[in-house]
């Protein structure tokens, strides 16, 4: 009996290897990512495949916001494959580096696999330049699995292909169950994912995995200013919940007025959709002479006023998460006082998850 099992296993390996093997790079079958399930787009099907805002936003939102909407933060490709190896090749929009964030986060790819009812990290694609081709993972058991590949946080793509050995299965992942709505995150570089080590460690990505929901990242580095035009665009989205986290970019703009506008437009156009307002945790570096805690900033005070005013109208659908709860007391969770490291993003996700679960009735 045991001998038969061994023989059977060996035959199975031979057969499956025979139908899906790569002995030279030319045998890889490359599939355009846009033919798979591209997720994290609020406005799918526009002319630019990896952009976060719709074509008509150009000229309507500030130029810098439009430009940043070409960064792929939060976009992910979900697909099914039975291959023992996954290859990727990607072309970046332009060379771009920052001295406080790893290139893997800025321009890399990040692969997860659905396992044991959740998502487990699998492999990272480390970029070497504008053109990249990598074997992400090999030696996997030959069985059908669902994979999710996150795209670069601070760069755009002009090409993304996923490769498997000829004869292996690769197809779009199943659609979400009918009626599934995404979590929509709006805000600053912190929402966009600066300075995560990998695209999957931006906090909207972590929370999307934890809650197993699609996640739309509308973080715009330095430009999360809650302009009325941006508020109107947000209200176009049929979200499960809106997470509004723009304050660190709003020091020079009328916070209360803009948050009021945003809340009004969301309540009018998306009645019944919960909204979570996120305070700023301030700068975690050594506080200057004022003696104020870093999170006690005037932008927080202004948003609290907007929240208090709106709250009675929202019937429990409006939540405020306080800045002091977002990061650790040790002040070790940012790289520069402002941008979370993976430690900071993990803590941000921990801090926001209960508010999200409550808003989603889970």
Other C-beta atoms within 10 Å of 176: how many? 15
| Residue for token pair 């990512």 | 33
> Which residues 6+ apart lie within 8 Å of 95 measured at CB?
129, 130
Rounded CA gap, 33 and 25, in Å? 19
Region of 42-50, 170-178, 198-206, 265-273 interacting with a copy of itself (CB under 8 A): 198-206
Residue 20 touching a copy of itself (CB under 8 A): no
Residue 215 touching a copy of itself (CB under 8 A): no
Closer to a copy of itself by CB, 165 or 246: give it. Answer: 165
User: Is 339 in contact with 327 (CB distance < 8 Å)?
Assistant: no
Q: Is 81 helix (H, G, I), strand (E, B) or coil?
A: strand
Rounded CA gap, 83 and 141, in Å? 8
Closer to a copy of itself by CB, 302 or 333: give it. Answer: 333
| Residue 162 φ/ψ, nearest 5 degrees | -115, 135
| Residue 291 φ/ψ, nearest 5 degrees | 80, 0
Residue 149 touching a copy of itself (CB under 8 A): no
Q: Is 93 helix (H, G, I), strand (E, B) or coil?
A: coil
Residue 127 touching a copy of itself (CB under 8 A): yes
For 245, the enclosing helix (H) or strand (E) is strand 241-245
Instruction: Give whole-number Cα distances, 250 to 89, 135, 222, 282, in Å.
Output: 38, 42, 9, 12
Instruction: Return the residues of window 299-338 that contact a copy of itself according to CB under 8 A.
Output: 330-333, 335-337
Closer to a copy of itself by CB, 113 or 351: give it. Answer: 113
Q: Tell the smallest beta-carbon distance from residue 21 to a copy of itself (Å).
A: 15
Rounded CA gap, 25 and 77, in Å? 22
Rounded CA gap, 112 and 103, in Å? 19
Residue 207 touching a copy of itself (CB under 8 A): no
Residue 22 touching a copy of itself (CB under 8 A): no
Residue 235 touching a copy of itself (CB under 8 A): no
Region of 25-33, 34-42, 53-61, 137-145 interacting with a copy of itself (CB under 8 A): 137-145
Residue 113 touching a copy of itself (CB under 8 A): yes
| Residue 318 φ/ψ, nearest 5 degrees | -110, 125
Rounded CA gap, 330 and 137, in Å? 36
Q: Tell the smallest beta-carbon distance from residue 146 to a copy of itself (Å).
A: 13
Which x/- pattern, by CB under 8 A, does the window 332-351 give for a copy of itself? xx-xxx---xxxxxx-----
Q: Tell the smallest beta-carbon distance from residue 106 to a copy of itself (Å).
A: 9
Which x/- pattern, by CB under 8 A, does the window 69-108 give for a copy of itself? ---------------x------------xxxxxxxx---x
Binding site for a copy of itself (CB under 8 A): 84, 97-104, 108, 113, 120-124, 126-128, 137-141, 195, 197-198, 200-201, 206, 284-286, 288-289, 330-333, 335-337, 341-346
């Amino acid at each position: 009996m045991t001998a038969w099992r061994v023989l059977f296993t060996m035959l199975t390996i031979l057969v499956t290897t025979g139908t899906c093997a790569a002995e030279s790079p030319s045998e890889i079958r490359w599939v355009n990512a846009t033919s798979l399930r591209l997720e994290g787009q609020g406005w799918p099907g526009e002319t630019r495949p990896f952009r976060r805002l719709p074509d008509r936003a150009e000229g309507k939102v500030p130029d810098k916001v439009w430009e940043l909407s070409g960064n792929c933060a939060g976009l992910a490709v979900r697909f099914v494959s039975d291959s023992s190896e996954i290859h990727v090749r990607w072309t970046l929009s332009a060379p771009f580096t920052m001295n406080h964030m790893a290139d893997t986060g800025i321009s890399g790819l990040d692969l997860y696999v659905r396992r044991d009812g959740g998502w487990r990290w699998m492999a990272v694609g480390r970029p070497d330049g504008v053109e990249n081709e990598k074997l992400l993972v090999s030696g996997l058991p030959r069985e059908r699995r669902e994979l999710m590949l996150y795209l670069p946080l601070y760069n755009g793509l002009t090409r993304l292909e996923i490769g498997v050995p000829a004869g292996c299965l690769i197809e779009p992942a199943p659609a979400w169950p009918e009626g599934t709505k995404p979590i929509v995150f709006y805000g600053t570089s912190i929402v966009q994912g600066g300075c995560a080590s990998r695209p999957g460690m931006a906090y909207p990505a972590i929370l999307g995995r934890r809650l197993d929901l699609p996640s739309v990242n509308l973080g715009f580095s330095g430009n999360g200013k809650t302009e009325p035009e941006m508020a109107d665009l947000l209200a176009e989205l049929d979200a499960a919940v809106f997470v509004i986290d723009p304050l660190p970019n709003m020091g020079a703009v009328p916070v209360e007025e803009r948050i009021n506008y945003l809340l009004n437009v969301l309540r009018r156009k998306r009645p019944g959709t919960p909204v979570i307002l996120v305070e700023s945790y301030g700068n975690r570096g050594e506080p200057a002479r004022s003696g104020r805690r870093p999170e006690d900033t005037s932008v927080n005070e202004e948003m609290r006023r907007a929240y208090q005013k709106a709250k009675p109208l929202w019937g429990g659908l409006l939540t405020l998460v306080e800045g002091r709860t977002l990061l650790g007391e040790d002040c070790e969770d940012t790289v520069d006082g402002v941008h979370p490291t993976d430690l900071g993003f993990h803590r941000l996700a921990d801090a926001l998850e209960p508010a999200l679960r409550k808003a989603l009735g889970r």
